[in-house]
Amino acid sequence: MLEYLPRLILEYAEDFQTTQEILVMSVILNALKSHKPQEKEGEPASANKATSFRRGMLRFPGQKKGTKILFAVFALVVVLTAGLKLRNAGVFHAHQKVAIKRKVLHRHAEPEDLGVTMEKAAALFGQNRLDESLQLYQQALDKNPHNAKIHNDMGLILLKKNLLVESEKHLSLATELDSMCAECHNNLGYLKTQQGENTKAEQCFKKAISLQASYADPYYNLGVLYEKNGDIRNAINAYQDFLRHFPDKESPVFLQVENRILVLQGR
């Protein structure tokens, strides 16, 4: 049985990393090399080992000293093996915690980075720096291809650049990604008026109103659409709804719409 132990310990040798573990392993191997079992007369030791192993015994006939060494060796192997498993488990757990922490930090940082990019892009759009704004939105879109807000804002920039086909692609996708986005439906409706698709445009404006009744813009767009189609009564109603929901009563837009209603009423 002892002849199997050096091979057993050597299989674990690559896991022994500390000086203490290496020293213990060396002592065990030296003790095993110096130990020679006694043999019965006329019978080779290998036969004794085979007989003892088949009987499930941990000693050979007449080898009490060898039994103590054998038990000591097995005890050390068990302790070292258990220690290595615990240590490796601890290292894995520590690495796992670090990995999870990094994922959490990355997940928390991403929305903040996106928000900063979107703010810069919107500011550039407000300054009419359309190409620079579009470039930032494209960077945001590369990292967040399914973000309806990004597609909506890119669609508006492209619409302002009179790139109607590219604009429709982004605005349509925005409504698909977020069917509850009233602003997305309103902007798609405005695009449809530029393409001459008035029926589709009216549907988009009404959809936006159904999603957010207090949203003023689709009422104004409906008023313009009805007026172009010669539907003066509905145009006046839509303009009046716009005034009811428009927040800034002192703005030039509010005053212009008031005057337009007066003109349509023949006053």
Is the Cβ–Cβ distance between 152 and 184 less than 8 Å?
yes
Cα(189)–Cα(211) distance, integer angstroms: 14
pTM tops 0.85 = no
Mean pLDDT of the chain: 76
Cα(193)–Cα(190) distance, integer angstroms: 5
Q: In terms of C-beta density within 10 A (0-12 exposed, 13-18 middle, 19 or more buried), how is residue 245 classed?
A: middle
What is the pLDDT averaged over residues 190-216? 97
pLDDT reading at 219 higher than 50: yes
Q: In terms of C-beta density within 10 A (0-12 exposed, 13-18 middle, 19 or more buried), how is residue 24 classed?
A: middle
For residue 80, what pLDDT is reported?
55
More confident residue, 57 or 84: 84
The dihedral sign for the CA sequence 52, 56, 59, 61: negative
What is the pLDDT averaged over residues 133-144? 94
Cα(230)–Cα(215) distance, integer angstroms: 24
For residue 113, what pLDDT is reported?
82
For residue 101, what pLDDT is reported?
46
pLDDT reading at 230 higher than 90: yes
For residue 114, what pLDDT is reported?
86
Neighbours of 111 (CB within 10 A): 10
Cα(33)–Cα(2) distance, integer angstroms: 10
Rg of the chain over Cα atoms, rounded to whole angstroms, equals 41
Cα(59)–Cα(80) distance, integer angstroms: 23
pLDDT reading at 38 higher than 60: no
Cα(213)–Cα(218) distance, integer angstroms: 9
Cα distances (Å, whole numbers) of residue 132 to 115, 140, 147, 148, 234: 17, 13, 20, 20, 40
Cα(53)–Cα(150) distance, integer angstroms: 74
What is the pLDDT averaged over residues 190-205? 97
For residue 203, what pLDDT is reported?
98
For residue 73, what pLDDT is reported?
53
> Which of 12-16, 28-32, 43-47, 257-261 shows the lowest mean pLDDT across its residues?
43-47
Maximal CA-CA distance, the chain: 134
Cα(216)–Cα(244) distance, integer angstroms: 8
pLDDT reading at 180 higher than 80: yes
What is the pLDDT averaged over residues 155-180? 97
pLDDT tens-digit map of 56-77: 333 334 444 555 455 555 555 5
pLDDT reading at 29 higher than 50: yes
pLDDT reading at 228 higher than 70: yes
Instruction: Give whichever of 12-16, 99-103, 104-108, 248-252 has the largest mean pLDDT.
Output: 248-252
DSSP, res 200:
H
Exposure b/e, 119-142, CB count within 10 A at least 16 = b: eebeebbeeeeeeebbebbeebbe
